[in-house]
Amino acid sequence: MNPSPLRSLSSAAAVLLCLGLAACGTHGNYRKDDAHEKLLQTLRQCLAEVPLRGDKSALFLSPCVALDVSPLNGISRGRLIDALGPAQYCTDQTQGSFPAKEDCPFTMNPQWSFYRHPEHTIGGGGPELVCEAHSQVYCATVEWRRSQ
C-alpha cells in the first residue's frame, strides 16, 4: 500500500476534526468586530439615557428595544457587563433578586432595564435585556423580555 494516500487521508481527517472543534468552541453569533462593538455601544448609550430622556411624568421606553440583539448570542457575561455596566437584576426559572456584585450569581441570568416608569409610580414592568446564560460564563441568548 502506498503510504502517501493514507497520509493525505489522515491529514484531511485531522483538518476536519480541527474545524469541527473550532465550530463547537463558538457559543453563538458574537464576534469581537466593529458591528458587534457598535451594537454594544448603542445599547450602553440607550441604557445611560433611560433616566434622563422623556417626560418624567410618563412611561419612557428606550428606542433601543427595537434593535435586534441576537448577534450578541454567545457573548461572555463579563464582556456584556463591561459594555452595559453591572447587572441591574438577576433571574432564574423561579425567582429574581438584585445582584450583590457586578454580575449575578452563576446560576442566575443578568438583565438590564430599558424603561422608566413615571415618578411616584410603584410596580409595573417593561422591556429588559436578558442574558440567558444557563449557568455558563457566556450568554446562550441575549434577548428582550417584558417584565411584569
128 within domain boundaries: yes
At residue 56 the predicted structure's pLDDT band, cuts being 50, 70 and 90, is confident
96-122 burial: b if 16+ Cβ within 10 Å, else e: eeebeeebbeeebbbbbbbbbbeeeee
Structure confidence at residue 65 (pLDDT) = 96
Specify whether the CB–CB gap between 143 and 132 falls below 8 A.
yes
Report the number of distinct structural domains present in the chain: 1
At residue 120 the predicted structure's pLDDT band, cuts being 50, 70 and 90, is confident
* Lookup: cell for 67: 434593535
Q: What is the mean pLDDT of residues 86-102?
A: 92
Q: Cα separations (Å) of 26 from 49, 60, 73, 90?
A: 32, 36, 10, 25
Instruction: Tell me the residue range of the domain where 77 lies.
Output: 29-146
